[in-house]
């Protein structure tokens, strides 16, 4: 790719912005965030990860005229019929308290034998020509209790990926990225959009 192309990440999350900037920089893509451009966060009114990611990417693309990325992600617990799912952040309330949200997951699960869960991430890529593509990554694991680890964020301390003995919050950022739902969605996007 000749020169540098500017894309917009429709997010105000500093950690997410850094992670995606690091991944896209080798492809000649400079990432600006919604925060950098003072873009509002649209209300998430869709009923799927794909719908909410697309809504955020499309709104940012229409405001900037640039290629825009957005993701929607969350924890889906099988025994809770996929909850908290698209409401994962909202379970934490305002201000966000993931300690309370993790306790809610545990309280809802109780002594359920099935503690299978998955982290889901859908990345939407909106282009100024009106086209949109979605890339979905998932990682399956189980809910553990009590929470373990100090790294990561959100529900990471109660999620232990399949085949691992540690939670996401007990892994380094690089170890988590190699397994994570966001990493998998980004790899699919990079392969399709950037020939990676």
Q: Could you give the percent of the chain with pLDDT greater than 90?
A: 68
Contact 122, 72 (CB under 8 A): yes
Q: How confident is the model at residue 196 (pLDDT cuts 50, 70, 90)?
A: low
Count CB atoms within 10 A of the CB of residue 153.
13
pTM for the whole structure: 0.89
Alpha helices in the chain (DSSP H): 14-24, 49-64, 88-91, 98-109, 173-179, 181-194
How far, in Å, CA of 182 to CA of 169, rounded? 15
Condensed to tens digits (0 to 9), the pLDDT of residues 26-71 reads 888 999 999 899 898 888 889 999 999 999 999 999 999 999 999 9
> What residues are annotated to the active site?
72
**Which domains are present in the chain?**
5-194 (3.90.950.10)
pLDDT tens, residue by residue, 129-180:
999 999 999 999 999 999 999 988 899 999 999 999 999 999 998 898 889 8
Which pLDDT does position 26 carry in this prediction? 85
Is residue 95 reached through a cis peptide bond, with omega within 30 degrees of 0 on the bond before it?
A: yes
- Which segment of 15-24, 33-42, 93-102, 179-188 scores lowest on mean pLDDT? 15-24
Instruction: Reply yes or no on whether the pLDDT at 19 is more than 80.
Output: no
Among 158, 144, 157, 134, smallest CA distance to 58 is for 134
Taken in order 10, 14, 24, 181, the sign of the CA dihedral is negative
Residue partners of 70: CB distance under 8 A and separation at least 6: 9, 10, 11, 53, 54, 55, 56, 57, 60, 123, 124, 126
């Amino acid at each position: 790719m000749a020169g540098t192309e500017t894309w917009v990440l429709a997010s105000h999350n500093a950690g997410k912005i850094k992670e995606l900037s690091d991944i896209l920089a080798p492809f000649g893509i400079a990432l600006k965030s919604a925060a950098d451009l003072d873009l509002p966060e649209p209300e998430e009114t869709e009923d799927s990860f794909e719908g909410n990611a697309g809504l955020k990417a499309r709104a940012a693309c229409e405001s900037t005229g640039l290629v825009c990325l957005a993701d929607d992600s969350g924890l889906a617990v099988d025994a809770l019929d996929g909850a908290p799912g698209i409401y994962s952040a909202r379970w934490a309330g305002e201000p966000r308290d993931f300690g309370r949200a993790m306790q809610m997951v545990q309280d809802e699960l109780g002594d359920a034998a099935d503690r299978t869960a998955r982290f889901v991430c859908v990345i939407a890529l909106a282009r100024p020509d009106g086209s949109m593509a979605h890339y979905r990554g998932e990682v399956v694991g189980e809910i553990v209790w009590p929470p373990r680890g100090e790294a990561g964020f959100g529900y990471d301390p109660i999620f232990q990926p399949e085949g691992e003995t540690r939670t996401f919050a007990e892994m380094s950022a690089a170890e988590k990225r190699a397994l994570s739902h966001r990493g998998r969605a980004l790899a699919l996007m990079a392969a399709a959009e950037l020939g990676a």
